[in-house]
Structure 1
Amino acid sequence: MKNYDFIPQNYSVHYEQTSAVWDLSDAFLKLIPFDHEALVFCCIGTDRSTGDALGPIIGSQLNSAFSFPFRIVGTLEQPLHALNLIEKQEQLHMEFQNPFIIAIDACLGESDAIGSILLHQGPLYPGKAVKKQLPPVGNISVKGIVNVGGFMEATVLQNTRLHLTYSMGDKIVRALMLAWQRHLLKDKNNGNQNRNHTNARKQIGYADFR
């Protein structure tokens, strides 16, 4: 059973923070059930907008990483956006009986929060920043604040610096990869401990452990 207590309702870290990748990997380790049989990463957004490309950038990088074996929906080549989101969700639930979905998307916020990466227990609401009504997505939400919200949101997203979007996506990808590798290492260490314990029982005798 995972311990969710260490993550507040809205956990955030700035992408330029020195320990951003490690801190994010800690959060991902505690929130993401990497051993779930139907773990899916839905990377929402479009390559037609520099600010809204955060999800597709992350999806493409994860999809090209052979050491990251999970299902990725939403890439620069095949974006997951407002026009196909409902269809893709239906397909996922037909393909998997009970998928656990990590939803990733860009968002807008206060000026002093630009560059922050937010983790939230529960779904995100894609298109909310540009006043689109779309169904919620995800068991866990990962959002990157790429620009200021409150006025002409679509234009703001289209005029966001690609450098910011790419840099934030890079940190999220590295943190997810690190969390996955740490999960594998933890499982390996636990397996070694279990084997050592079993060997000790055989060598010493079961009666000694009653």
Structure 2
Amino acid sequence: MTQLSQPSKQQQLSCLKIPHTDPEIHSAIIHRLLFYLSQAEDKQQVIIVCIGTDRSTGDCLGPLVGTALARYKSPWYHLFGTLDEPVHAVNLQETLSSIYTLYDNPFVIGIDACLGQSSSVGCIQVASGPLKPGAGVHKELPPVGDIHLTGIVNVGGFMEYFVLQNTRLSLVMRLSEIIASTLQGAIQEWKTRSTLVARLD
């Protein structure tokens, strides 16, 4: 569970924050993801790390995204964190160590739920740099990702564990579906473009 903090001016310029009800949300997120993916090297392997646990309604966003992405059986990225095999506080460090052992200079995309202001609940954020899992519930965990996506599932600032347990599953499901479909769409488009450019060269 990531804590929503006040971003710097530079981060505000590079961070997309959009309500899940916005009719342009899919194209906006895909466009922003393509911008970040274009900065990755062609040979970098894409790793998606979906953080969270299926034991908490508010914190199951990551595993739900991972499970949705697993259904695509995509050859374009490696996936860690599903409902069956979640990545959470207990095994996050071990998972990250395995990733950087198995893959040389990977491009890592972190996914996590987030607590924030009441006006931001239901928003999805796409930003450069790593997310800080566990910060929303005052845990010290390693940062994750060259870029990250978060879904703001509820209000932060008080009784975080109680808030997570009492988060609407319907909202978390909608956020996870949007994140999974836009990630799949962006990576597919990026890889298709890269292949076409390589052929032209």
Match of 1:22 in 2: 27
Displacement of 1:129 in angstroms is: 0.5
Displacement of 1:55 in angstroms is: 0.4
List runs of 5+ in structure 2 lacking aligned partners. 1-9
Mark the CA change 1:97 to 1:185 in structure 2 (over 3 Å): closer, same or farther: closer
Displacement of 1:66 in angstroms is: 2.3
- Structure 2 counterpart of 1:170, one-letter code: E
Aligned counterpart in structure 2 of residue 50 of structure 1, from 49, 57, 60:
57
Q: Check whether the contact 2:46–2:76 (CA below 8 A) recurs between aligned residues.
A: no
Q: Check whether the contact 1:115–1:144 (CA below 8 A) recurs between aligned residues.
A: yes
Match of 2:15 in 1: 10
TM-score (norm 1): 0.83
Give secondary structure in 1 for the equivalent of 2:177: helix
The CA distance in 1 between the partners of 2:52 and 2:195, in whole Å, is 36
Structure showing greater relative contact order (alpha-carbon pairs closer than 8 Å, 6 or more residues apart):
2
Give secondary structure in 1 for the equivalent of 2:59: coil
The structure with the largest alpha-carbon Rg is 1
The CA distance in 1 between the partners of 2:95 and 2:163, in whole Å, is 27
The CA distance in 2 between the partners of 1:25 and 1:120, in whole Å, is 12
Displacement of 1:128 in angstroms is: 0.5
List runs of 5+ in structure 1 lacking aligned partners. 196-210
TM-score (norm 2): 0.87
Q: Give the length in aligned residue pairs.
A: 189
- Identity among equivalent pairs (%): 40
Q: CA RMSD in A?
A: 1.9
Structural mapping, 1:49-198, within 5 Å = 49-67=56-74, 69-187=76-194, 189-190=196-197, 194=200
